[in-house]
Amino acid sequence: MNLVIQLLVSLLVILSIILVVGVPVTLASPGQWEKSKNLVYTSIGIWVGLVIVTGVINSFII
């Protein structure tokens, strides 16, 4: 179970770093927002899902 939590947290950290770098670059680039809007929203949805799943699974660990 600890391995699952470590994997989820690692994925969350990696996705967070990608979003912290990628979203401002996308917003600052002319014309890129219209092309990448769905990808950004999907990535944010996955991030929120990872936060919720990690929290729920972490609640089962004593």
pLDDT tens-digit series, residues 10-58: 999 999 999 999 999 999 999 888 999 999 999 999 999 999 999 999 9
Beta-carbon contacts of 2 under 8 Å, excluding residues fewer than 6 positions away, are 61
Start-to-end Cα distance in the chain? 11
CATH fold label, 3-60: Helix Hairpins (1.10.287)
* Nearest partner of 26 among 50, 13, 42, 8, judged by Cα: 42
22: closest CA among 41, 7, 9, 8?
Answer: 41
pTM of the predicted structure, to 2 decimals: 0.86
Please state, in angstroms and rounded to a whole number, the distance separating the CA atoms of residues 4 and 13.
Answer: 14
Structure tokens at 43: 């990535």
Is a pLDDT exceeding 90 seen at residue 1? no
